[in-house]
Structure 1
């Protein structure tokens, strides 16, 4: 049997059967295209494929989790634009349109984003040969709340599923590296982004849920190498999120690199035209090359 040919920018549904942890609703997915493309009320989670030219392909790949406070996805700003940048470095990129916890089509709100991230990582590995990807060099990048999702996958990749699995679900969901850009890390009151926490866990979460999704608490020796970017003047997601995660990584002897810029605020994406802030991608390219 000849394997299917996948073209750049193909969009695949994550689930080829009934979407787990879902229920019927009258909700409709919303796409707004103003200064950036924002997607909310995601109904069918997908993976958008961006492949580099074969001549420049390094075999590395990255799963991209756009941010948006767990209420929307900054789909081009922190998704497809980033995928195109990775392609210029010979890295395959896959933009994840994950379900959001405030959707009425989701049954258990806090489980859906991680379920989609686990499935997406397994889907990339399942199609690694066709896409020219080394299954041992598949990482993840996330921005803001997408950084929380990326860090959750990186620290809780082996979380048990609550649905009937198929062959793909036997593959590892562990990222081989993580890139976290102004990420939400903790759900604790001291430094969390309350908007993201309220959407993911509800306005009165139990202490058990807060602990489970405070990712600085779940770093182990199996946590992948991590690259962190944050700004000291971030008023939305305090830099302490990255600082605490970096400290946890170092205490477990994980390869970690962190860049804290004195300015930039929050939500700058590739930071094009933002002075030396835009060089964070150059630092990332160096890190990836020598990883």
Structure 2
């Protein structure tokens, strides 16, 4: 019997709905339904009665839930007594290079101060292959993966194979990032061919799936761009955009304060070929800690600012 699964059952009772509990726990609904079914089978009784109107706790289920609540309380008390005052605050996440994610991370860390018992945090900005690898191996508890629409089926199969769960954090169309003084800055509508005489600032990365690289290269080819600069560090990229005439990047929506700091603007691109989503991934059955849930809340606030 898994203590995390017992917590799941209590959350279902609290929410009065498996679907609402799944959202609260950042779990897929089918997985949560499976966990509840397996627990009921193990106990040889029905905890919940399902209907179109939701769920109802059975009489025997009520007794079981009371006992489960006592068990979870005892475990939490032990954890508080023997771990809470000794262990440092621990958090690990692997992410793409995205300004809105780093902004959420900065706020998350700042809000948690002071860390009386120490701090053990790992924030990996890396490529999609490493994000999946770090989460699968347990070196990071959470990962955020940028997936273009044409890549979704590939990653769905990969998550199934790697025993990972995923949840959409944000969906967006990539935008043009450029200086306020860029020759295209005054245009409200920019076509992909308008970029022909611009210099592309590319994020230097490797370990992308071959079909992803091929697709993105085809898009760059459509622009007619013949000049590009690869830069890995985000600060270097932004400084190039600010100081080098007629440069651009294709990015996710950017925080306003960062745009103002580097005198940059974003403009929509008249194409549907660069729609993407950022997915939260974690190992199947993993229970998010209170700190991890707080990070996701900060992340959702950043997303709401540009949606």
Larger-Rg structure: 2
Shorter-normalised TM range = under 0.3
Relative to the length of structure 2, the TM-score reads 0.24
* Greater relative CO (CA pairs within 8 A, separation 6+): 2
Larger helix proportion of the pair: 2
Larger strand proportion of the pair: 2
Relative to the length of structure 1, the TM-score reads 0.25
